[in-house]
Chains A and B, each alone.
Chain A
């Protein structure tokens, strides 16, 4: 029997020194997955363990790889919009938005104001929904099996109703088009939206009352999986995870795409960058999204109904060239890099998926933690495997 002694170092930037085991055992390799204990998708981790402490973690990807980039090269630009729905199936609206934004950049298309208003409404509803759901699933990962996620799903249904009203589909919305959106909002949309906006803060308060200062949640999450800000930047982490690490970088503020330059909202940041901060970050961001929604609805009402499409050529054939368009999706920076060779199909269709890049530091974040913690560290990153593997 070989006994390899492994010195568990103190992880730089982490406040709590990693507990060094007095009792050293034989190092073992454990395979977790390809089914995740929770419902984040098909994901496998190769762990090297010293007792219950993680010495090394290597994510193994590809179980949901479905050649989306290759497929898109064989389809026209327009035909690829439904494929973007299936990247991150929770956030089909923002996926649509990122793709049409890149294509509009490539072809130089203007979008009418009403369509921009509708897009912002859809994006922010998606963000609220995604963050609510994430909190539910995070609790699931923590062992609060199904009850919190049930409440999250209940609230999400109300937003899905809105999506269905606008696009005809609850999850695979396929709603945005180059130069605008597919349909104008039906009459019943705004009254229902106002109702959701009125109810949602009440729900968030209730949720927070149950969770934010909950002792179990705090003891499981605090100082677990700390990601220091400089490391987060180097690893290319974006979105709520980056901001929870204390870096106030929000593409909505920096790029000011769509209408975000005119809207008033704050960018919350965390201080420690642990799982707890990432949880609170989501709740804060959901509140900010509600604030944005309150501002956009009057803007929408000022625009003439029906003007939802800009001038788009019947056959979408952008001139040869390339463009990179990115948005702040609920998971981070979602970008599309498109290359046109002048034909009606993209020469290259690249997705810069936030979930994929945000996974890069997972091994680093989990090192030195217990096996039970890696589940919630992974959960707190908010990763959709469909988007990782594409």
Chain B
């Protein structure tokens, strides 16, 4: 994603979101958001900017700053698909749908040309920071179902509370386990 595209995206987000929702734009292009603005920003990115695919949700423990961070990587999947089939991100959508014959059609690979708007394929990186003693983050599982398991993992590993998650419980460790092992101050039990 080029600098201009990022700037354009930032402007559009700033227009809609309340003042001060974007705390910082990092050098890498990541947008640091205020936690209460996350859902609105997510809705905007998904419904109006076409970032329909949430690839990655990862927790980070910044012990020195006494904060947890959640990082989201978003991609515009349908736009990528259109670029692939027509060579243009804004071309007509590929005709798909069930066919009785169940035949596989081969998408024209064409020369998937990289046109100017291509950078909008992503990733858009969103970051949210919350205090370590009250790690409550709004859940984005309602926007992208791919967060369902990944948020559970972040809860398991960091103890992040995803508000609004339909089934927030441990995913890897057993229920009786008390700690959150990917926290930087985690001390493993003596064997």
- The interface residues of chain A, by DSSP majority, are classed as mixed
Q: Which of A259-273 contact B (CB under 8 A)?
A: 264-272
- Docked-complex contact A247 and B149, CB < 8 angstroms: no
Of A61, A266, A321, the contact of B28 (CB 8 Å cutoff): A321
Q: Which of B139-186 contact A (CB under 8 A)?
A: 144-150, 153, 157, 170-174, 181-182
Residues of B within 8 A of A238 (CB): 55
Whole-angstrom CA separation of A361 from B148 in the bound complex: 10
Residues of B within 8 A of A246 (CB): 94, 96-97
Q: Could you give, for residues 40-53 of chain B, a 1 whenever the CB lies within 8 Å of some chain A CB and a 0 otherwise?
A: 00000000000011
| Interface core residue of A15, A222, A271, A276 (most chain B CB under 10 Å) | A271
| Interface core residue of A256, A272, A347, A359 (most chain B CB under 10 Å) | A272
- Docked-complex contact A247 and B73, CB < 8 angstroms: no
Q: Does A333 contact B (CB under 8 A)?
A: yes
- Given the contacts A280-B104, A324-B125, A253 and B181 also touching, CB distance less than 8 Å: no
Of B55, B84, B182, the contact of A267 (CB 8 Å cutoff): B84
Of B54, B97, B106, B123, the contact of A236 (CB 8 Å cutoff): B54
Residues of A within 8 A of B80 (CB): 249, 253-254
- Docked-complex contact A248 and B84, CB < 8 angstroms: yes
B51 → chain A, closest Cβ, in Å? Answer: 11
Q: Does B60 contact A (CB under 8 A)?
A: yes
User: How many contacts between A and B, using CB within 8 angstroms?
Assistant: 147
Q: Could you give, for residues 99-115 of chain B, a 1 whenever the CB lies within 8 Å of some chain A CB and a 0 otherwise?
A: 10011111111001010
Whole-angstrom CA separation of A276 from B172 in the bound complex: 31
Whole-angstrom CA separation of A348 from B71 in the bound complex: 12
Q: Does A229 contact B (CB under 8 A)?
A: yes
Whole-angstrom CA separation of A273 from B123 in the bound complex: 26
- Docked-complex contact B145 and A360, CB < 8 angstroms: yes
From A65-73, A309-317, A375-383, give the one contacting chain B: A65-73
- Docked-complex contact A271 and B145, CB < 8 angstroms: no
Q: Does B98 contact A (CB under 8 A)?
A: yes
- Docked-complex contact A271 and B105, CB < 8 angstroms: yes
| Interface core residue of B30, B54, B58, B106 (most chain A CB under 10 Å) | B58
- Docked-complex contact B148 and A270, CB < 8 angstroms: no
From A44-52, A123-131, A153-161, A350-358, give the one contacting chain B: A350-358
A283 → chain B, closest Cβ, in Å? Answer: 9
Of B27, B54, B106, the contact of A268 (CB 8 Å cutoff): B106
- Docked-complex contact B84 and A253, CB < 8 angstroms: yes
Binding site for A on B (CB under 8 A): 27-28, 30, 52-56, 58, 60, 71, 73, 77-78, 80-81, 83-85, 94, 96-99, 102-109, 112, 114, 121, 123, 125, 144-150, 153, 157, 170-174, 181-182
**Which 10 residue pairs across A and B have the least CB separation, nearest first?**
A236-B146, A246-B96, A62-B172, A248-B107, A350-B58, A352-B56, A65-B172, A254-B80, A234-B145, A266-B109
